[in-house]
Structure 1
Amino acid sequence: MFTQTVINRIATPFAISGFILSILTHTATAATTLDNNDNVRGFIQTNSSSFRYRNDLVPNAPMETAAGEEYRFNAQQGDTVRISVKPEEGSTLSPILVLSSSQTGNQVAYNDKTNLLVYQVPISGEYKLLVLGDNNTRGRYTVSLSGITPGVIVNNPSNQPSSSNQTPDKRKQLLRDDFGLRVLENCPAATGSLVVVSFPESDQTYTYCANPNRFLEAGQYTYDMSTETLKPGRPGTQTAANQTTDPRQEKLEDEYGLNVLDTCPPATSSFVVISYPEGGQSYRYCADPNRVFPAGEYTYNASTQSLEPVKQPEACTVQVGGVCIVR
């Protein structure tokens, strides 16, 4: 059932957690909580709070400022959230929709072309929505939310009391100070050329993107708290500390810089496939290509301790009496 909620303005200082979005005016309205199938009325005026945001549709776009109002909601991993804004009749409002994660402060979705924002939630938690007036437009509107799992309550940073001296993001500082990474403010849609680091903590995983450096090339990494190191691969692909490690896999990773997969996929044409003869058996491994080993078939040579490319048979161009003649 649709419910109608009127926004109450509360003059109280409010600081937004994270490093993407921040209120610029000396007073701010308290964020309104959205629930599934809510229709909430809003009003952007000349004296409305100002927020900073970035136009994610334009590469390397600078930070901008616009007046608007803030909302928040809880969503569960896998939810497809639909947010729509409908300006009321007579309103000149041209809305900008900006969505950020309360856990990281990262801006995760943006739309200034239509009045609809659709976002599939990767991590359960609280999310913050900004409805902003593009080009100083103002007016009344109704914001609607649907697609979230009912009854989801997650502890996140914005559930805690706000303060002007909030604790900095320790994970971001660790990546900068210990690994020399320049962390981006938010992860773009395409991350193939970036260092992507996952921090599995409790029942949540925090993800950061950074530019590669001379120590860490582009790829997926997981922070291992026990060794305080970044290990290649996504969360769940790491070997537990109390399990017996695979010496062949370790050799491929440590000596050849390969990110070995847990299992070989059905199609392996885009992967490095290594045959590892040992003790009368042959072990097969698949890994992501790197700049030294392009995709293809390889065999480990124990005598030279090297990975040797497997020569593929040449295609048969002519057959004479059922016999293949290669030209």
Structure 2
Amino acid sequence: MKAHNFLNSITATVLIAGLALTGISSVAVAEQIRNNTLTDGVIRRTSPIYRFRNMWTPGTPTEELRGQEYTFSAKEGDDIQVYLDTNRGGGFTPVMVLFYGNNKQVAFTQDRSFNYRIPRSGDYKLLVLAKDAARAGNYTIEVSGI
């Protein structure tokens, strides 16, 4: 009985911890982003699926979107600017989600750009996702200020 309760406790902890970002595809390989460097990307119907929810809007359901994962290191106080150009092909509706540390969501946008002041030094993960996977396509992303 104690072992069963312990396993239920672990399961509940994992579920709660995984609310911000769950189910990162095992085939997903993050690409390192460099400061002020244009990085070309593509979202296909076969791109990895990322499961997440917008933590900034209460009651938002969990979504599963296809996309790409990027990483970068930043220092406390850096003012970063993220710009996504989807006009090269596809014209998909973008979603960008920024995570710090152990998948703590720190920014979310459905626009093609956002600014963010880094609260603590460390490694960050940026997801570029297609809201409408049927119209997925090519894009260029640039992060500056890191």
The Cα of 1:57 is off from its aligned counterpart by 4.5
Aligned-residue Cα RMSD (Å) equals 1.7
- Alignment size in residue pairs: 128
Asked if structure 1 preserves the Cα contact closer than 8 Å seen for 2:99 and 2:106, the reply is: yes
The Cα of 1:92 is off from its aligned counterpart by 2.8
Partners in 1 of 2:113 and 2:74 — Cα distance? Answer: 18
Q: Partner of 2:5 in structure 1? A: none
Of structures 1 and 2, the one with the larger relative CO (CA 8 A, separation 6+) is: 2
Structure 1 pair 23–42 and aligned structure 2 pair: CA distance change class (3 A):
farther
Asked if structure 1 preserves the Cα contact closer than 8 Å seen for 2:76 and 2:118, the reply is: yes
Question: Normalising by structure 2, what TM-score?
Answer: 0.80
Question: Normalising by structure 1, what TM-score?
Answer: 0.37
Match of 1:126 among 116, 123, 127: 123
Map 1:112-261 onto structure 2 (within 5 A).
112=110, 114-136=111-133, 137-148=135-146
Asked if structure 1 preserves the Cα contact closer than 8 Å seen for 2:70 and 2:125, the reply is: yes
Asked if structure 1 preserves the Cα contact closer than 8 Å seen for 2:89 and 2:139, the reply is: no
**Percent identity of paired positions between Structure 1 and Structure 2:** 34
Map 1:223-302 onto structure 2 (within 5 A).
none
Give the aligned residue type for 1:119.
Y
Partners in 1 of 2:119 and 2:50 — Cα distance? Answer: 25
For structure 2, the residue ranges without an aligned partner over 5 or more in a row are: 1-16
- Which SS does the other structure have where 2:119 is aligned? coil
Q: Partner of 1:85 in structure 2? A: 84
Larger Rg: 1 or 2?
Answer: 1
Asked if structure 1 preserves the Cα contact closer than 8 Å seen for 2:73 and 2:123, the reply is: yes
Q: Partner of 2:103 in structure 1? A: 105
The Cα of 1:133 is off from its aligned counterpart by 0.1
Asked if structure 1 preserves the Cα contact closer than 8 Å seen for 2:98 and 2:125, the reply is: yes
Partners in 2 of 1:23 and 1:68 — Cα distance? Answer: 13
